[in-house]
Amino acid sequence: MTISKNYYKAQLLGWSVYVLIATVVFIMTGSDITFELFGGIYLVFALGLIVSHYYRYAIIKLGWLKKDIISLIPRVILACLGLAVGFHSVYLTIGNFAFGWGFQFSWTDPNLITWAMLFFIWNLIYFSYIFFQRFRNEELKNAQLEATRNEYELRRLKDQMNPHFIFNAMNTIRALIDEDPVKAKNAVTQLSNVLRSSLSTGKHELISLEKEIVIVKDYLEIEKARYEERLMVKWRIEERSLKSMIPPLMLQTIVENCIKHGINQLPDGGTIEINSRVVNSIVEIEVLNPGRFDPDKKSEASLGIQNTKNRLSLSFGDHASITYKNTRDNRVRTLVVIPLNTNSL
């Protein structure tokens, strides 16, 4: 863990406050101001800096920063008692050697309580700062997630309300009215579902894969009415993966890219395969579509990829990923890996 300048400033300030308080107390109690007296005060200052610094190093190595308050309390109490005994032993050893105090270690020495209280105060300040930083970082993460989610919702609304998209969908429905009124009615319902989903799902951080698939199926039905035999879809969904939570409209974004930059570019169209499976403690969501993916080409597709990566990172950290790969059979394989989870974060 990188040590910031604020840590050193806080260390110097904290132990300097002890020097100031100890000096004032000795003066108010009428103690003789001697070299040995000030030597003892500054010896506490120097030892306090060294001992607390290495104690902080031990805290990090032992993983105490990852523990909750309840489990920390007994550890901190025992640490304060141990530090007090060790500190007092070193304090007397140096004091006897440097100033000729001649003091012997005693378990009834009131200084033991003083040192224990000093280290307890140090722990209280240090862990309070750590928990405050953790809370602030969590708040920042939530703010970033909210901002990204809002940005995504606005972008999705713009995409779904795009006149080109609506124009194609309405033309498809209009053509179906005379040819197949039942199918036309279904297409209107599906279009309504897609638009409503775009409005509602943006309010949630995560939704189940099962709900996402319902949205994607409605979207694909509209596109199948438009592309007819040029668009075919194969599903292989493992039931265990359905309850896993994913960022809303993530799968639909991937499928839209498959159609816009794959099916739409090929005269004969092709088949989109959507698969999901659970492997150990992770969920793999795989989408295959005909075409080629150019990672160096800047396009709406690459923006969608980056947006999806950001959303996965904010929701799951380093435990989730999305990758695009060209396969040997001239298809693009999109693979999303997320931890197996069934509760919204």
303-308: Cβ within 8 A, 24+ apart: 304/253, 304/254, 304/256, 304/257, 305/257, 307/148, 307/152, 307/155, 307/253, 308/247, 308/250, 308/253, 308/254, 308/336
Closest residue by Cα to residue 290 from 255, 274, 266: 266
Q: What percent of the chain has pLDDT over 90?
A: 26
Distance CA 194, CA 223 (A): 12
The angle subtended at Cα 249 by Cα 134 and Cα 315, nearest 5°, is 15
pLDDT in tens, 165-208: 567 667 778 877 887 888 888 888 888 877 776 666 656 678 89
Average pLDDT over residues 291-299: 72
pLDDT in tens, 227-241: 888 999 999 999 999
Predicted local confidence at residue 236, as pLDDT: 96
Residue 249 pLDDT more than 50? yes
Distance CA 232, CA 124 (A): 63
Distance CA 238, CA 285 (A): 10
Query: Crossing angle, helix 181-200 and helix 111-160, to 10 degrees?
Result: 150
Residue 161 banded pLDDT, cuts 50, 70, 90: very low
Distance CA 13, CA 46 (A): 12
Average pLDDT over residues 152-160: 55
Instruction: Return mean pLDDT, the chain.
Output: 83
Q: What's the CA dihedral at 291, 297, 303, 306 to 10 degrees? A: 90
Q: What percent of the chain has pLDDT over 70?
A: 87
Distance CA 173, CA 223 (A): 11
DSSP H or E segment with residue 273: strand 270-279
Closest residue by Cα to residue 246 from 140, 345, 138, 335: 345
Domains defined along the chain, listed by start:
5-139 (no CATH), 161-339 (3.30.565.10)
Residue 273 pLDDT more than 50? yes
Residue 345 pLDDT more than 50? no
Residue 278 pLDDT more than 90? yes
Distance CA 83, CA 46 (A): 15
By the 10 Å C-beta count (0-12 exposed, 13-18 middle, 19+ buried), 323 is classed as exposed
pLDDT in tens, 83-114: 999 999 998 999 888 877 878 888 888 889 98
| Max avg pLDDT among 150-154, 192-196, 246-250, 264-268 | 264-268
Among 73-87, 106-120, 142-156, 172-186, name the one with the lowest average pLDDT: 142-156
Predicted local confidence at residue 301, as pLDDT: 54
> In which residue are the tokens 């025992």 written?
78
Query: Crossing angle, helix 35-61 and helix 111-160, to 10 degrees?
Result: 40
Q: Which residues pair with 272 in a beta bridge?
A: 233
Among 100-114, 136-150, 241-255, name the one with the lowest average pLDDT: 136-150
Predicted local confidence at residue 109, as pLDDT: 87
Asked if residues 324 and 333 have their Cβ atoms less than 8 Å apart, the reply is yes
